[in-house]
Structure 1
Amino acid sequence: MFACPATDDFFRARIDQMIDLRHPLAVLASRMPWQEIEAAVAHRFVRKAHEGEAMPDLDLFGEKPQRKVLASKAGRPRVPLRVMISLLYLKHAFNESDEGVVQRWADTPRWQFFSG
């Protein structure tokens, strides 16, 4: 009846079917050179090792042996670079705070479409 033809599920409609694709933000999303922007800023978001001087841990009984620090695999996976770039753009364009842009992004399908 009203189901999405791609999924045959009423509750899994695609975002591009929910919004007006003539909206300026949707048009901008299709015209942005996302691959070139990502390539230009990717080096800024690379995980870097912190450089510094290793100091021995001292306590009441003398030095503790240094343990080798390994990169942790625990935690949340990284957010895609396009989402990070688009959130920075939306924050600047709509004069939002960090928390405000994330809250508004969660509530606005146009912003989600813009972010990919």
Structure 2
Amino acid sequence: MKPKSRAPEQDDLLRPRLTAMIDMRHELVRLEALIDWAFFEREWAGFFPSHTGRPATSPRIVAGLLYLQPAYGLSDEAVVARWVENPYYQHFCGETFFQHRPPIDPSSLTRWRGRIGEEGVEWLLTKTIEAGREAGVIRERSAEAVIVDTTVMEKAIAHPTDARLYEKARLRLVKLAREAELALRQSYARLAPRLAGQVGRYVWNGMQN
């Protein structure tokens, strides 16, 4: 079922507004004021053509969460949990007063991604870029090219060497012989690891010379 429109909330003497709790100069506060949220309320509502069933979560909240998630490197569960304790996240997603309960089940974000598809994600990116241009933090020249970091970082990966392959083959042959109940004169269980260590030192010394 299509999401219901969110009516403006009235002042509550017992609950201070989020705008009274946060720094209005914060980056999320400034970005929130620049993004055209009505676009998502209007366009994403079309992904729910049915008029029956439980109303879907507000596209305003979902769009905000889908932006916050990659921006801060959070999982579905983490971004929802962080939302409950972060007034800036809540303000960014359109809340007026601080909320103590999650606005959505984390699994619902997966269903929303399936609904909006690549087109919906592109809309979110487009509106964010437009907001950046309006704020003057993104220049036209910056949007003309994409810089991809192809740096290769070294990792502690054990690459196969002849010595390791020989040792692996020896272990396999010994195991097969035992399964076949074949008597071996020698399994080299003690000698092979020592020889492998010597081979490794020879290789290392050769690389240093």
For 1:7 and 1:103, the matched residues in 2 are separated by 25
1:86 aligns with 2:64: yes
The one-letter code sitting in structure 1 at the alignment partner of 2:82 is: R
Inter-CA distance 13–37: structure 2 relative to 1 (3 Å threshold): same
Number of residue-to-residue matches in the alignment: 84
* Partner residue in 1 for 2:29: 26
Query: What's the TM-score once normalised by structure 2's chain length?
Result: 0.36
Superposition pairs of residues 3-14 of structure 1, within 5 angstroms: 6-9=11-14, 12-14=15-17
**Post-superposition offset of 1:47:** 5.0
Distance in 1 separating the partners of 2:64 and 2:37:
10
The corresponding residue for 2:40 is 37
Moved more, 12-21 or 32-41: 32-41
Distance 1:8 1:41, change over 3 A: closer
- The residue correspondences of 1:1-116 to structure 2 (distance < 5 A) are 6-9=11-14, 12-43=15-46, 45-47=47-49, 73=53, 77-116=55-94
Residue 52 of structure 1 aligns with which residue? none
Residue deviations 1:65-96, cap 9 Å, x none?
xxxxxx6x4x6x42111001110000011110
Q: Which has the higher relative contact order, 1 or 2, with Cα contacts under 8 A spaced 6 or more apart?
A: 1
TM-fit CA distance, 1:109 = 0.3
Alpha-carbon shift at residue 39 of structure 1 (Å):
2.9
How far has the Cα of 1:46 moved from its partner? Answer: 1.3
- Give the Cα separation in 1 of the matches to 2:18 and 2:28: 13
Shift of 1:8: 3.3
Q: 2 CA distance for matches of 1:23 and 1:86? A: 16
Larger radius of gyration: 2
> Would you identify which runs of 4 or more consecutive aligned residues in structure 1 move more than 6 Å?
none
Structure 2: unaligned runs, 5 residues or longer: 1-10, 95-209
Q: Which amino acid aligns with 1:25?
A: L
Q: Distance in 2 between matches of 1:47 and 1:100?
A: 30
TM-score by length of 1: 0.63
